[in-house]
Structure 1
Amino acid sequence: MSAPLLSVRGLKVHFPVATGRLFAEKPVVRAVDGVDFDLAEGETLGIVGESGCGKSTTGNAILGLAPVTEGEILFDGRDVAGLTGRDRQALWRDLQVVFQDPVSALDPKRTIAQSIAEPLEIHGVARASRKARVDELMELVGLRATQRDRYPNELSGGQRQRVVIARALALEPRVVICDEAVSALDVSIQSQVLNLLLRLQRDLGLSYLFISHDLSVVRHIADRIAVMYLGTVAEEAPTDELFRRPLHPYTEALLAAVPLPDPVAERAKTARPLQGDVPNPMDMPPGCPFAARCPLREEGCDQIRPQPIEVGPGHRLACHVREREITGSSALDRQGT
């Protein structure tokens, strides 16, 4: 089996919070608190979870837009977590992003052609070559040549997102991080953009890290899904497997809340509603971050952090109770809790 194109190992992103007290120890927000995953060439990994779970911060850390507190980000076998300056700029040839809001992502004073050409200009591509490349990219994403000299406010939301996608592809990247890339669009337009992304992946051999809060959208595009909760990965599995056999109680609750046209796993359909409040990210329990809301929680769950275990091909989860059901014991039993 070939090595993954992108590997994240033990990724942590902690943000200190000012308290107003000069010598007081600053509390930290554990936005990402030990995340591991791989992304293969030509694959789409979906990252899902509620708002504030750390999924966008994970993407920003990979891009170098959020400081890495600890861990490795391996791109093609090279640790790129600490790259700065020219080295980081060179990496952006291979690693690009499509953000949620195309309005804020585009300069309203630049024409469509100028916006798409921006990364080519930054990386020193000759003017004549830039024009030809822009024309090629516009055709690739389904924009008309007559729209070349228009401004973002003259386009629809779906057309603007096509411009953002074209700009992301300008330097022929190998990985594109799609951060809520369709959530600002109407449902009918979402489908068109998702199908465009799938076609581009097939034709160009792209790998996607697809970040979203919408499981039904992720199901349409992702080969595998990682479910995040408060900075950790609760469960990761191939997409069909996750919908057929969700194991983590948080995954079950998410699936139970999604209106789907076809049945999902029995466990998800009968999942109990979430209890309690989301813990304060500045005062996290030492154990499972989901313990406070988990309908299956046991004594000690909030004191001992569950470690991810493999429960099937490509299927991992971090849950003491489910681990015991599958293997016969858990860290709670081994530590006498």
Structure 2
Amino acid sequence: MSALLEIRDLKVHFPVRTGRFGGGKGLVRAVDGVSLDIGAHETLAVVGESGCGKSTTGNAILGLAPVTEGQIRFGGRDLGNLTAEGRKAVWRDMQVVFQDPVSALNPRRTVAQSIAEPMVIQGWSRKRIAARVDELMEQVGLNPDQRDRRPVALSGGQRQRVVIARALALNPKLVICDEPVSALDVSIQSQILNLLMRLQREAKLSYLFISHDLSVVRHIADRVAVMYLGVIVEEGPAAEVFASPVHPYTEALLSAIPLPDPRGRAERRRILLEGDLPSPLNPPEGCPFVTRCPLAEARCHEARPPLEDHGAGRRVRCVVRRPG
């Protein structure tokens, strides 16, 4: 069975002015050759540090960032040459939950008006919209008396529930969740994660879950793709990636996750990466991780490694740790 979302060799490059007086020209390689699939009713998490290209990938899928090269197919349909009407049809089946519910909601609109927005755009009748708004508010755990409140009168968790309800209004097949809990208190994060997982079961949704927090990802993801400097360095089933990471960058990210150990007996060797994430304006020659990798060898500087099959759905981009 074909994937719901197929991404092949996606590149998103942004031209910029460089030099002290802006006389030079450069190219920011925000996304530099990403290929991913998402199946029906599946959650794929894309993880990595800030600036690695995760959100740009999501924006390219949504049509909010220009695609330089590559192909994006959704439900078998090429998203590269859509008309305005075609894009409107795609948006019925593809929605988004952004990181910050404050900026995602119009402060002048009520809860009901915010949730109703996609239905109004699609031309639904008032009666149908009103019934659907009531249904969605119940689904996401909002009280009926909050219907006429504005975002300023809601807590952070309640605002994100409004954003989630709006994303589900048209019964989409795919929801792109871009850091959906990072702006919330830790006590609220688990509530929103549990809500997303319940809604996925009930509505048979697929999620692209973008996050820098692997402790969050491990609770919701079926598969994980680890991104570094615009490329995927490791991908595979979440349980396998968390249990036995192969790429040195994945190892370093996982080593930072606190172990659940109330007695304080668990130990894990923390892998500290030296230096900052290189600029996508001037990425390293060879492996993108070579400047920070504790296992780097001379050959790592020569060419970018391919994303090789390690079996059991695992793919890894590393010449030091090749399969076999």
After TM superposition, the score normalised by the length of structure 2 is 0.95
- Partners of 1:252 and 1:271 within 8 A in 2: no
Partner residue in 2 for 1:130: 129
Instruction: Give runs of aligned pairs for residues 4-83 of structure 1, distance below 5 A.
Output: 4-19=3-18, 26-83=25-82
Partner residue in 2 for 1:101: 100
Q: Is residue 235 of structure 1 aligned with residue 209 of structure 2?
A: no
Amino acid at match of 1:228: M
Aligned sequence identity (%): 66
1:20 CA displacement: 7.5
Change over 3 Å in CA distance of 1:31–1:82 after alignment to 2: farther
- How many Å separate the matches in 1 of 2:20 and 2:277? 27
Partner residue in 2 for 1:304: 303
Question: Does 271-280 or 251-260 show the bigger shift?
Answer: 271-280
Partner residue in 2 for 1:200: 199
- How many Å separate the matches in 1 of 2:131 and 2:152? 24
After TM superposition, the score normalised by the length of structure 1 is 0.91
Change over 3 Å in CA distance of 1:155–1:46 after alignment to 2: same
Partner residue in 2 for 1:145: 144
1:25 CA displacement: 6.0
Secondary structure of the residue aligned to 2:194 is helix
Amino acid at match of 1:201: Q
- How many Å separate the matches in 1 of 2:259 and 2:8? 33
Instruction: Give runs of aligned pairs for residues 154-193 of structure 1, distance below 5 A.
Output: 154-193=153-192
Instruction: Give runs of aligned pairs for residues 202-281 of structure 1, distance below 5 A.
Output: 202-261=201-260, 269-270=268-269, 272-281=271-280
- How many Å separate the matches in 2 of 1:238 and 1:115? 36
* 1:258-310 deviation digits (Å, cap 9, x = unpaired): 11216xxxxx9446422333222111123111001001111131221100111
Aligned residues: 319
Secondary structure of the residue aligned to 1:18 is strand
- How many Å separate the matches in 1 of 2:9 and 2:195? 33
Secondary structure of the residue aligned to 2:85 is helix
* 1:78-137 deviation digits (Å, cap 9, x = unpaired): 211343522112110010000011111001100000000011001111111111111111
* 1:207-230 deviation digits (Å, cap 9, x = unpaired): 000000000000000001100000
- How many Å separate the matches in 1 of 2:270 and 2:20? 45
Question: Does 303-312 or 170-179 show the bigger shift?
Answer: 303-312
- How many Å separate the matches in 2 of 1:106 and 1:54? 24
- How many Å separate the matches in 1 of 2:309 and 2:94? 29
Instruction: Give runs of aligned pairs for residues 78-93 of structure 1, distance below 5 A.
Output: 78-93=77-92
Change over 3 Å in CA distance of 1:246–1:21 after alignment to 2: closer
Unaligned regions of 5+ residues in structure 1, if any? 263-267, 328-337
- How many Å separate the matches in 2 of 1:152 and 1:228? 34
- Partners of 2:256 and 2:270 within 8 A in 1: no
Amino acid at match of 1:257: A
Partner residue in 1 for 2:117: 118
Partner residue in 1 for 2:285: 286
- How many Å separate the matches in 2 of 1:188 and 1:76? 36
Question: Does 46-55 or 307-316 show the bigger shift?
Answer: 307-316
- Partners of 1:216 and 1:260 within 8 A in 2: no
